[in-house]
């Protein structure tokens, strides 16, 4: 574990990670309603908002655009990721080495682990290699901790999400990104299970401002240390508006109502 | 991402890649109507045409003939490739190391990725190794981005081809070679999805001069940066004729009719 | 084999290993009745008890808390471990390298081997790598020797447990952690089969003080050199109480009754 | 591609490879009629005949006998090879490293590739490693190019054998050893498909002198550069007799009748 | 091939290997009738008998006891080995590296190959790595050559055992340990098939003195160079008695009757 609070991706102990790997994970359909956001430059621009403490992209986008944004964006290189074109037990190829991520300027690395998949053994071991190498570079490690696979029926049950944060803690993630488990109590359990690992809520698919902020608020009240959000920001017409609100809510401790003003 | 525009395989921001790996991928049947083209020397000769900015061959042909053509041909070593003798989910062995490609004079490397195949995970990871090593040598990386496998029904639908170009961009290809998705609009979508990655159209099986050039023209109008073509050049009796036309169309911006004159 | 008696995890030839990897192996359910023990700090505190000669945790917990406890706790890094979310033949990912375990201060390493699993071949080979590398650091190797898999019906039969200790000896473990095989005679067989490898009894799920200590006593009488215990300590309201008793029983040779006073 | 004509295994641009790996590939049954030839020394003696430009054996035989024959025999170490005791898709373990082959004095290396097998991908990649390492030692690479596996019905059809020679050329073999495709025309196709790679005919099972030499003659007329023969030499009572004839036919250009005199 | 006759495990060109890896391969049942022999020290003592030219044990036993016996015992480290708790095609994990075997004082290494198993390809390649590394240390390589798996019905037929010795020779073993193929003639075939590789008979399960010595005698008459024996020695009440007889028979050329006196 590294003193992650000293990392640029953390501000006052909290983090707002803007994620933009949907082009790989979901394909062009995620841009149907916001075609201009298919251009990574538009979302790099959004990531310059003060509220965003880290911007998570795959290697290819980092290589192409980060050099123009290195003063204004903290780069979180997402190390693995897959298309949704194939079928089978969840797995995710490692698309970037830590050495290369460091070379292109990463401030942190991200890694998806599908615990419960028949590929869990392999993914844990890939995570080990990434985590230990990241330690050499003092790069915080964010785990997308997503239980998924033939053995799991309801992947957002309280115990499953608490198991997800605990796994992240046990095998050495600094930050665990998990889905909202449905209630503030369940999120509290997940935060406790996480021990010294910080928990950030996964933003999920797009909802209304109020609904989204309420959930974030509930997660923060439960002890989460922030948010990793993609579609709920960049699929919006005015991303700055929701980012302003998130900044008030997450970093300045305002209520949902006050944040939305 | 490297400044691919400075590479010899790019001319005025565009590229015409002549591909000649069909002996491996398809076997001798591709030469039935043009038996003399089975001799690689005849196609290396074609590749000396000014319109050709890169010549894509497997390692064995590069080793044997490139030393005699190194002043007149830009070498793109195709790194993986397979016979069509076996059955099963699409996959492609890596037949050449980047170190060796560089040693024999490669100006760029090419790599096929069958997204959607059950072997996608493995192929992405092989691509990663090739891509990062190629960066060390400043060699542009061209991805033959071909979604294929049990999960895919129509592999040239607009969304599939746009997904193909996006994958190439996300995981770090400089140039994405994709099939023509059937319309100029669909090609525009694919070009937008590609972000900073250049898109070149895949030539496909042999058609008439008019039909072929019209498709190329449509792709160029959609924002494609060139063409990767094999059979539509070297299966023709007079390859120089179609290459003359392609040069006018791609590099000099002429219309199909003017180019064909 | 290293002179394990000189290791800090051994005291007078015996060892009491406190294990706390249940958050990974079993998930949050193991903390339902003792929610405060979900916080690793509370169990690190327990591990400072004099009776505890080694504290077994996964890498993540070691990284986060061991720096504050290095004067009071002997660290045994558990090298592999898996969630129970997936199904299939028993296997366990290697979550930590020996180099890294040594770097974070390990006094010993632990490794689970599921002999009898279809993954036995792979697990033996992973054990080999860990064992030989641990030798370079003079770190004792503790094998969680748990026959399990499609070929095994009763995994605590006398012959199975004796086979388990023998396997640990044959492939080079310093200490074998095995389940209690049901009787003192069976434990004697297991101890004899272990040759020069020390046998420690696995604590198992929580039972009453008397029942638990009686079993430990029987194992010690059979020649076991100690205990590796988790839930029977940290799931108790007063862990110090049972640790006091275990210290008397294991290290001071007292009877169950005397130890419980 | 290396200047294979300068290699000791080539004489006037041609090669006669005596192969003796049948003990591994077929087992003792191949020696039933010539039991004395089970002793490798007897076949090393045969290999000293002037007509033999290379002697192909597995590592074990090379280690044991080649030191006594290094002045009189050119050593071709066969790198992979398997028993016929198991069933399943064709595959072949790599039994020798190139470094070790070079250390024990190899003048060339041989490698079997079963294109069309479900293991084609793996075999191509093993071939890559061997080929590139052999380049470092300037050792010619001979591919036993044998399409075989579930996807192939007739493995000596003209197109299959031409595909076999082409594969050898595409992925970098200096010499392709293929089965005779049934006619001189088909062999011509295979030779053309091979490009700069030399083609040698595989000797196959034992036939009469006339039949065997006629086939060799037909292959030579078709442009083959020699022969790789085993049983048709060392299963004969007087191997020197057929080697005399082969020398006349292959190296001195005599007719079958003249060669047999 | 190394000059194995100069190795300490060979005496006058012959070898008597005492094998004691049954604790791993068979488990505690092999000690049921001789419980004291479960203690490796008792069998190390037996191995100090002059007749024993090498003592074959797994790494764990070598580490623990060999330091006390290094003046009186020649150590043969058995490199692979498995429990019999699992089911499936024969395979055997590699439990020791050659570097480590050398470090702990090995005079030779042993390796099981199950030709005919679906894992033959993998086992041959593991054997290759062990064999080539052993060459660096000048350690003789003994192959336990045991055809076994779905493709084999009778694994001690004359042709199968001759194939087993030939495989050992072809891929580079110095000594092949095979089962007795049922007759002196069949053993002669196996010895001939072995070429320069020495053949030693595998002792098998315990039989009477006369029956056992007669079989050994027949093997020696057939050209075998010794014996690898386990249970027929250490399952006996007086191992020294049978070792005295074996010494007379194997090294001093006495008849069965004379040896038994």
Instruction: Give the confidence band of A41 by pLDDT, cuts at 50, 70, 90.
Output: very high
3-class secondary-structure state, position A3 = coil
Q: Characterize C115-126 residue by residue with b for buried, 16 or more Cβ atoms within 10 angstroms of its Cβ, and e for exposed.
A: bbbbbbbebbbb
Q: Residues near A6 by Cβ (< 8 Å), separated by ≥ 6?
A: none
Nearest residue of C to residue E123 by CA position? C121
E197/D100 touch (CB, cutoff 8 Å), yes or no = no
For residue B261, give every residue at least 6 positions away whose Cβ sits within 8 Å of its Cβ, in sequence order, or none: none
- Give the pLDDT score at E202: 96
Query: Is residue A88 left, alpha or beta, with left meaning phi > 0 and alpha meaning psi from -120 to 50?
Result: left
What is the model's pLDDT at position D150? 86
Of D144, D184, D151, the closest CA to residue D168 belongs to D144
CA closest to D90 among chain E residues: E121
Round to whole Å and give the CA distance between E98 and E102: 6
Query: Which residue do the tokens 């290195």 mark?
Result: A70
Q: Which of C146-160, E117-131, E136-150 has the lowest mean pLDDT?
A: C146-160
pLDDT, tens digit (0-9, with 9 covering 90-100), for A83-101: 999 989 999 999 999 999 9
Per-residue confidence at A1, pLDDT binned at 50, 70, 90?
low
List the one residue out of E25, E7, E21, E28 whose CA is nearest residue E62: E21
Mean pLDDT on A234-250: 97
What residues of D are labeled active site?
A: 177
CB neighbourhood size of E156 (10 A): 17
- Binning pLDDT at 50, 70 and 90, where does residue E205 land? confident
Check A59, A177, A179, A198 and give the catalytic one: A177
Rounded CA separation A220/A227 (Å):
9
Cα–Cα distance measured from residue D36 to residue D31, given in angstroms and rounded to the nearest whole number: 8
- SS3 string, A68-121, reads HHCCCCCEEEECECCCCCCCCCCCCCECCCHHHHHHCCCCEEEEEECCCCCCHH
Any contact of C with B, at least 3 CB pairs below 8 A?
no
Distance (Å, whole) CA A233 – CA A43: 9
* DSSP state string for E152-201: -S-TTSHHHHHHHHHHHHHTT-SEEEE---SSHHHHHHHHHHTTTSEEEE
Provide the pLDDT confidence category of residue C202 given band limits of 50, 70 and 90. Answer: very high
The token duo for C243 is: 């640790």
Per CB distance under 8 Å, which residues of E are interface residues toward D?
1, 115-118, 120-125, 127-128, 132, 135, 147, 149-152, 159-160, 162-163, 166-173, 189, 192-193, 195-197
Task: Estimate the crossing angle of helix D184-193 against helix D158-170, to 10 degrees.
Answer: 20
CA dihedral A226, A232, A238, A239 (to 10 degrees): 30
State yes or no: pLDDT of C151 exceeds 90: no
User: What span, in angstroms and rounded, lies between the C-alpha atoms of E27 and C159?
Assistant: 8
Exposed, middle or buried, E44 (CB in 10 Å: 0-12/13-18/19+)?
buried
- Chain C residues close to E40, C-beta within 8 Å: 169, 195-196
Minimum CA–CA partner of C166 in chain E:
E23
Give dist(CA A220, CA A187) in Å, integer: 9
- Note the pLDDT tens digit of each residue in D151-197: 786 689 999 999 999 999 999 999 999 999 999 999 999 999 999 99
Residue A199: strand pairing partners: A176
What lies within 8 Å, CB to CB, of C39 at 6+ separation is A192, A195
Q: What does the longest C-alpha to C-alpha distance in chain D come to?
A: 47
Clarify whether A177 is annotated catalytic: yes
Q: What is the mean pLDDT of residues D74-100?
A: 97
Q: Does E touch A (3+ CB pairs < 8 Å)?
A: no
Tokens of C58: 């996964």
| Residue E18 and residue E61 in contact, taking contact as beta carbons nearer than 8 Å | no
Cα A168 to its chain centre, rounded Å, is 13
CB burial string B147-168: b at 16+ within 10 A, e below:
bbbebbeebbebbbbbbbbbbb
CA–CA distance, C166 with E57 (Å, rounded to integer)? 13
The predicted structure's pLDDT at residue B238: 95
> D-chain residues within 8 Å CB-CB of B86?
115-118, 120, 149-151
| Torsion angles phi and psi, residue C123, rounded to 5 | -70, -40
**Range A217-228 average pLDDT:** 98
- Average pLDDT over every residue of D59-76: 98
Summarised one tens digit per residue, pLDDT across range D7-35 is 999 999 999 999 999 999 999 999 999 99
Q: Which residues of chain B have pLDDT under 70?
A: 1-2, 153-154
Those residues whose C-beta lies under 8 Å from the C-beta of residue D238, and which sit 6 or more positions away, are none
Number of H helices, E strands in chain A: 11, 8
Question: Is residue A25 predicted with pLDDT exceeding 70?
Answer: yes
Q: Which residues of B touch D147 (CB under 8 A)?
A: 83, 85
- Residues of chain D with Cβ-Cβ distance to B31 below 8 Å are 193
DSSP state of D226: E
Q: What is the mean pLDDT of residues A249-259?
A: 96
pLDDT the model gives residue E154: 66
Give me the pLDDT at residue D104, please: 98
Contact, A58 vs A78, CB < 8 A?
yes
The residues facing B230 across adjacent strands are none
Q: What is the pLDDT of residue D1?
A: 57
- In chain A, residues with a C-beta closer than 8 Å to the C-beta of B147 are 83, 85
Q: What local confidence, expressed as pLDDT, does residue B1 receive?
A: 57
Percent of chain A with pLDDT over 70: 98
- What ipTM does the predicted assembly reach? 0.97
With cut-offs at 50, 70 and 90, classify the pLDDT of residue D3.
confident
C63 with A218: CB under 8 angstroms? no
Residues of A with CB under 8 A from a CB of C: 1, 115-118, 120-125, 127-128, 132, 135, 147, 149-152, 159-160, 162-163, 166-173, 189, 192-193, 195-197
Kindly list the residues of chain D whose beta carbon comes within 8 Å of any beta carbon in chain E: 21, 23-24, 27-29, 31, 35, 38-41, 58-61, 63-65, 81-83, 85-88, 91-97, 100
Question: pTM of the full predicted structure?
Answer: 0.97
| pLDDT at residue E34 tops 80 | yes
Residue E190 and residue E169 in contact, taking contact as beta carbons nearer than 8 Å? no
Contact (CB, 8 A) for E198 and E222 = no
Question: Which residue of chain D comes nearest to E167, CA vs CA?
Answer: D24
The confidence score (pLDDT) of residue D205 equals 87
Residue A103 phi, psi dihedral angles, 5° rounding: -65, -35
**Residue D80's Cα: distance from chain center in Å?**
13
């Amino acid at each position: 574990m590294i003193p992650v609070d000293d990392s640029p991706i953390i501000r006052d102990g909290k983090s707002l990670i803007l994620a933009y790997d949907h082009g790989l994970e979901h394909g062009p359909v995620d841009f149907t309603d916001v075609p201009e956001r298919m251009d990574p430059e538009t979302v790099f621009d959004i990531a310059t908002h003060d509220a965003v403490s880290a911007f998570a992209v795959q290697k290819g986008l980092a290589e192409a655009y980060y050099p123009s944004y290195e003063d204004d964006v903290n780069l979180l290189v997402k190390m693995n990721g897959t298309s949704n074109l194939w079928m089978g037990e969840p797995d995710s190829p490692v698309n970037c080495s830590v050495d290369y991520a460091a070379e292109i300027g990463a401030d942190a690395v991200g890694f998806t682990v599908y615990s419960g998949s028949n590929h869990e053994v392999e993914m844990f071991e890939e995570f080990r290699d990434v985590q230990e190498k990241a330690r050499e570079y003092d790069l915080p490690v964010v785990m997308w901790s997503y239980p998924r696979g033939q053995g799991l029926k309801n992947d957002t049950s309280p115990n499953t999400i608490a198991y997800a944060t605990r796994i992240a803690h046990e095998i050495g993630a600094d930050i665990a990104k998990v889905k909202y488990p449905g209630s503030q109590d369940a999120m509290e359990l997940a935060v406790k299970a996480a021990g010294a690992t910080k928990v950030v809520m996964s933003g999920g698919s797009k909802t209304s401002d109020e609904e989204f902020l309420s959930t974030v608020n509930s997660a923060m009240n439960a002890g989460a240390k922030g948010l990793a959000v993609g579609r709920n920001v960049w699929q919006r017409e005015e991303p700055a508006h929701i980012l302003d609100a998130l900044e008030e809510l997450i970093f300045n401790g305002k209520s949902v109502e006050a944040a939305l003003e």
